[in-house]
Amino acid sequence: MPLAQRAASCLHCAVAVTLAGAMHGNELLRKP
């Protein structure tokens, strides 16, 4: 796999993880 493609895949994974973490954090903040 080319380096650029690998970097793009890693970036996509990082964004997905960040979004999932943010959604999880928002759910935790909503619950008392």
- Determine if residue 31 is left, alpha or beta; phi over 0 gives left, psi from -120 to 50 gives alpha, anything else beta: beta
Q: Look at residue 15 in the predicted model and tell me its pLDDT.
A: 92
* Tally of CA atoms within 13 A in the half-sphere of 27 that contains its CB: 6
Q: How confident is the model over 1-32, as pLDDT tens digits?
A: 688 888 888 888 889 999 998 988 888 778 77
Q: Look at residue 13 in the predicted model and tell me its pLDDT.
A: 87
* Tally of CA atoms within 13 A in the half-sphere of 25 that contains its CB: 6
Q: Look at residue 19 in the predicted model and tell me its pLDDT.
A: 92
